[in-house]
Structure 1
Amino acid sequence: MLDVEAQMPPSGEWKTPPFDPRFPNQNQTRNCYQNFLDYHRCVKTMNRRGKNTQPCEYYFRVFHSLCPVSWVQRWNEQIKQGTFPGKI
C-alpha cells in the first residue's frame, strides 16, 4: 500500500494524482476504480474503529481526479441500492 502521509501535498497545492506503480499504463480506469474502492473501504474501517476519516481524503481526491463524474454517481447509487459489484 502507498504511504499516504508522504504523498499528501500541502493544502491547496493538489494538482494531479502521484504516480502509482500498480498502474503504469496510460489507461487509468483500473486506478480510478481501485481508489474508489480503497476510499470506501478506508471510511468503513475508520468508522468501525471510531477514528477520524481524514486519512481517507487521499483516496477521495485521487478517484475524483481520475474518474468520470457519471461513473462515481452510478457507483454511489449502486452502493445505496446494494447492487454494487465491488467488495467494500
Structure 2
Amino acid sequence: MSDEISEKLKNYRTAPFDARFPNTNQTRNCYQNYLDFHRCNKALLAKDQDTAPCEWYRRVYKSLCPVGWVHKWDDQLEAGTFAGKI
C-alpha cells in the first residue's frame, strides 16, 4: 500500500467533504461509500491484489451510516437479496 494512503488512513477522523453530496442529508453518501467499498473489494480480489485501499470506503461508510443499516445490508448481501449493484 502506498505511503500516502496509509498516512491518510492513520490520520482519519471522520468522513471528509464530498462534492457529490453537498447537502446536509448524508444518506446517499453513506450508501454510495458502502457500495464503493464492496465494489473495490470485489474488483481487487478478482485481480488477486491487496484490498487495503478499499479500507478508506469502509471507514467513511462506518462513520456516516447507522449501524442498523449496515447490519441489514450485510445480511441482505449474504442472502443475495441486496438491491444495490455490486
**TM-score (ref. length: structure 1):** 0.88
CA RMSD of aligned residues (A): 1.4
Which sections of structure 2, spanning at least 5 residues, go unmatched? none
- What aligned pairs does 1:1-88 form with structure 2 within 5 A after superposition? 9=8, 11=10, 13-88=11-86
Instruction: Describe the SS at the equivalent of 2:76.
Output: helix
**Where has structure 1 moved over 2 Å in runs of 4 or more?**
none
Shift in Å, 1:10: 5.4
Cα deviation code 1:43-88 (max 9, x no counterpart): 0000000000000000000000000000000000000000000000
Give distance in 2, aligned partners of 1:54 and 1:82: 25
Sequence identity (%):
56
Q: Provide the TM-score with structure 2 as the length reference.
A: 0.90
SS class of match (1:50): coil
- Larger fraction in helix: 2
